[in-house]
Amino acid sequence: MKLMKFFVMFALTFSFLTLEKINAQTENSSGYTVEEIIVTARKRSESIQDVPVAVSALSVEQVERGNIQRVQDLEKLAPNVEMYDMAFGGGGMSAAIRGLSFDDLEKTFEPTVGTVIDGVFAASNSGTDLDLFDLESVEILRGPQGTIFGRNTIGGVISINRTKPTREFGVKFKTDLEEDNTSDVKLVVNMPLGDNGGIKVTGRRLQSDNFAFNVTRNEREKLRDLTAASVVLDFDLSEKINVNFTFDNYNDNSQHNLLNITEFYINKLGAPQGVFALLGQGNATSGALSKENDYMTVYSAEGFYSGIQGNNMSLRMEWELEDHVLKLISGNNDFAELMDVCSWGSAGAVVTPNCVFPVVRDQTYEQTSHEIQLVSDKDGPLNYVLGFYTIETEANMDSGPVQNFRSVQDAEAWAIFGDMSYDLSDLWTLSLGIRYTEEEKDFNIKTFASYDNKVARTPTVLDLTRDFQDENVQHKVVIQRNTDFGMVYLSHSTGFRSGGFNARGTTPESVGPFGSEEVETIELGLRSELLDNRLILNLTAFTNDYTDKQETIVTPGDGTIVVDGVPQTCGTTCTFVRNAGEVSIDGLEIEGTYIATERLTFRTAIGILDASYDEFINNGVDVSAYAKLKMAPDYTASLSWEYIAPTSRGEIIFAGTFSSKDDYYGTYDPEVYIFGPGADIITDGESKLDLSLTYNTTTAGGTDLTFTVFGNDVLEDGAYIVRPFDAGAFAFATPQKRQHFGISLGVEF
């Protein structure tokens, strides 16, 4: 049935070939067209309409006019994409593309969606919550990108490039003021560096109070507390050699809201606990999370702190040869991350709860990567990119006092890859890509009987050392046909997500290793330019065969779980990771841009998913009949517009986005969390309306001024759950505020 649906989508897509006649008969006398967008989805510059890849890209003008401030804001503008804050991991972002998601905080787990910042692949999702103020380009690539970007990109890639130094003196300043005492101040200063270079210095200071009120502490705590700065040097060693060096420093001391969403008789504590009802976050009769106050009230003896401090460095060199460009990209990310959580517990007449589930997680992480690329720059039918890549990572974690352990993982991987395109004729192009990868991980974990202090813990209960090795070949084959109105392509690609170890494992059985998971994708795409390039209409149909899917299975303290046919018992909460899942995902994506008039532009992005488990072995039982894929709503849709009205001294821009998505799950088991027996919704489907009004003007002295008033989710107040987390005996979630209004002032000269 699913295969039949996919072929139906193929047929519907090919039916649009008839639009060629319509396009040929249409004349455009207006003189305005959709602006061309250049992307580097295949690590070489190409028009987005010529690339046989499902990619969404935004220009700097679109980002500024639409008041898009953060990477997470891009989810509403791309089909089948979900992004939100990773509150349990400092400064991180959780992302899902086409139902392939990753939202865990462990550094021994690998992401499904890769993040590339200034050409450097981020092996961890911590520190990827970027502001888009200093943006040059942003691309969201959907589907496996393994041949170009490597392992752990089975869902896709988010590629972000910041501006290079202009080599001229200039200042760009912006401040955003919002509700809850939110202030976000950003500054970019450019200066020349001799005759052949430039330097750029940036800074950011973000502060805000909490939108939720803590009843226990009787205060509205701090929420965001971020300081970041960077220095970029860009210079020419010669006419053909360019060097770019970037240094970033960031310090995020933010706090977050924590809700206890534990149910009491569905695989949880077994008996109602009065404190949950007393504190208003759980109902002792139904065992379900209360929605009172729209999640705007929290109860905790201490704040939920999740901070990160770190430095990033990158070095990029480009050497222009006769008909090639040789590139060297090196990067180093080094950060320390601390999470301190106090979950309330004891009941009493006075609400002064003590910690019954305290967690302190102190982590350090470092990655160093190098990549060499040889990119062709030829006028002939053959173009290609060849490359070699290597990466080393080290992750250390101390955790306690409920789960007392210390884990260390050293990992390294290398890969060689190539991607080429050959024009068979004026109409047909064949593209081939292949990547070979080898990786090795060494892991050690020690568990302790007590948590006296982080330095000296005694006695040692478990001291386990294991290693993991793997090799993989990923490929991509694309056949592409040009038409009078655009092009059509058919591709087959594979990708894999690395296996490894479970840093939360407290027994030899739960540590692992677990194996890699793989995705095989068939994709059919249509890229069209209609109505004399006033209308861009892109369609993509795809099917994913997801095998050996890594599943996280949590059992409460003193619980028993069947692992590989053998019952295992844990004295405390245990997390097991097993290759337990087989999933089929079919989908359709529609993206369009229409220049209605010289002043009015519309954009749309629609995604449809049909995802289901074919097999899921949980505790020795196949639960695929009711297991749900996380972060995979059946549909996402958005309609954006911008209207530009010239004035005597500038222009006024009215922009907005209406976005909608279906219900989606935060866990594979629809009855683990929130709404009681028989309910199966983790996060409700929602519709949002974001609006902004901007006035741009230039003074007589040449200074550009921008003033914006904006409102996000203007139709609905309150908050909603975005990140449930199952800790075995307890389940938690973090809420995110819906509606907020603000003003923005920008100055550039």
pLDDT tens-place string over residues 597-652: 999 999 999 999 999 999 988 777 787 887 788 889 999 999 999 999 999 999 99
Q: H helices of 352-396, where? A: none
User: Does residue 557 register a pLDDT over 60?
Assistant: no
- Is 275 or 599 the better-scoring residue by pLDDT? 599
In a domain, 331, yes or no: yes
In a domain, 172, yes or no: yes
- Per DSSP, the residues of 543-561 read EEEEEEEEEEEEE-TT-EE
Q: Which residues pair with 350 in a beta bridge?
A: none
Give the per-residue pLDDT at 192: 97
Give the per-residue pLDDT at 32: 81
In a domain, 73, yes or no: yes
User: Which of 327-341, 397-411, 429-443, 702-716 bottoms out in mean pLDDT, i.e. has the lowest?
Assistant: 397-411
**What SS3 class is residue 30?**
coil
Give the per-residue pLDDT at 719: 66
Give the per-residue pLDDT at 521: 97
| Confidence grade of residue 89 (pLDDT, cut at 50, 70, 90) | low
Domain at 362, CATH number:
2.40.170.20
Q: What is the pLDDT of residues 705-741, one digit of tens each?
A: 999 999 988 987 766 666 666 555 556 667 777 788 9
User: Does residue 320 register a pLDDT over 80?
Assistant: yes
Q: Which two tokens stand for residue 194?
A: 């001799």
User: Does residue 376 register a pLDDT over 80?
Assistant: yes
In a domain, 27, yes or no: no
User: Does residue 484 register a pLDDT over 60?
Assistant: yes
- Is 72 or 660 the better-scoring residue by pLDDT? 660
Q: What is the pLDDT of residues 115-159, one digit of tens each?
A: 999 999 999 888 777 778 888 989 999 999 999 999 999 999 999
- Per DSSP, the residues of 319-352 read EE-SSEEEEEEEEEEEEEEEEEE--B----SS--
Q: What is the pLDDT of residues 5-57, one digit of tens each?
A: 544 455 444 444 444 444 444 445 456 888 889 999 999 899 999 999 999 99
Most confident of 168-182, 204-218, 625-639: 168-182
In a domain, 35, yes or no: no
User: Which of 256-265, 334-343, 408-417, 427-436 bottoms out in mean pLDDT, i.e. has the lowest?
Assistant: 256-265
In a domain, 34, yes or no: no
Please tell me the distance from the alpha carbon of residue 475 to that of residue 371, in angstroms, as a whole number.
Answer: 19
Please tell me the distance from the alpha carbon of residue 237 to that of residue 425, in angstroms, as a whole number.
Answer: 40
User: Does residue 503 register a pLDDT over 60?
Assistant: yes
Long-range contacts (CB closer than 8 Å, 24 or more residues apart) made by 448-456: 448/400, 448/404, 448/405, 448/406, 449/404, 450/404, 451/400, 451/401, 451/404, 454/362, 454/398, 454/400
User: Does residue 196 register a pLDDT over 70?
Assistant: yes
Give the per-residue pLDDT at 26: 43
- Is 572 or 630 the better-scoring residue by pLDDT? 630
Averaged pLDDT, 246-260:
82
Q: How far is CA 361 from CA 672, 731, 746, in A?
A: 25, 17, 39
In a domain, 30, yes or no: no
In a domain, 359, yes or no: yes
Say if pTM beats, i.e. exceeds, 0.85: yes
Residues 6 or more apart whose CB falls under 8 angstroms from that of 411 comprise: 392, 393, 394, 395, 439, 440, 441, 442, 500
Tally the domains of the chain: 1
Tell me how many degrees the CA angle 746-748-749 measures, rounded to the nearest 5. Answer: 160
Please tell me the distance from the alpha carbon of residue 453 to that of residue 360, in angstroms, as a whole number.
Answer: 11
Averaged pLDDT, 565-569:
65
CA neighbours within 13 Å on the CB side: how many for 629? 24
User: Does residue 436 register a pLDDT over 90?
Assistant: yes
Chain Cα centroid distance, residue 355: 32
Please tell me the distance from the alpha carbon of residue 559 to that of residue 269, in angstroms, as a whole number.
Answer: 11
Give the per-residue pLDDT at 558: 52
| Confidence grade of residue 84 (pLDDT, cut at 50, 70, 90) | confident
Q: Mean pLDDT of all residues in the chain? A: 82
At position 423, the amino acid (one-letter code) is D
- Structural domain of residue 174, as residue ranges? 1-7+41-748
Percent of the chain at pLDDT exceeding 70: 77
